[in-house]
Amino acid sequence: MKIYTKCAKCRSEIVLKTNASDRFVLAKKIGETIDLSCKSCGTNKKYHVKEMKAEESKIVGFISLLIFLGGTSGIFFYLWPYFFRTSYIYAISALIGVLTVPFLIYQAINFGQSNKVKYFNAKQYG
């Protein structure tokens, strides 16, 4: 999850590196006002916790996509010889079911990220 605010002068994003789950935890760790400096224009300003917003991390999304694609293809190539050897319908459905494990991991990671972002943005401080 990426926590950020907009610069008061140039409106570029200022990213805050923290693992706070909501604004209350952020205020407890850092304080109600956070002194941040803009990398674009160099302006230093104190921002209130209410001005912080969250969005999903692109890195976590990319990692979950790699897990999905790599896991699915790895399991598929590993189980490929068994698809044609078995004629038992339940064994085939079990093999196909195993292929859904990387998808479930991908969904869990993305769902967790979106829930964290919704929770952070929904909780207002003060």
pLDDT digits (tens, 9 = 90+) for 49-85: 888 899 888 888 899 889 888 988 888 788 777 766 7
pLDDT at 58: 87
At residue 126, the pLDDT reads: 63
pLDDT at residue number 123: 76
Is 98 strand, coil or helix?
helix
pLDDT at 8: 83
pTM for the predicted model, two decimal places: 0.70
Which residue ranges of the chain lie beneath pLDDT 50? none
pLDDT in the model for residue 100 = 85
Give the per-residue pLDDT at 108. 92
- The Cα angle at residue 23 between residues 29 and 11, in degrees rounded to 5: 105
| pLDDT score, position 22 | 85
Hey, how many other C-beta atoms are within 10 angstroms of the C-beta on 102? Answer: 21
Question: Given this model, what pLDDT does residue 61 score?
Answer: 87
Give me the helices (H) in 1-126, please. Answer: 23-29, 58-85, 89-98, 101-122
pLDDT for res 99 = 78
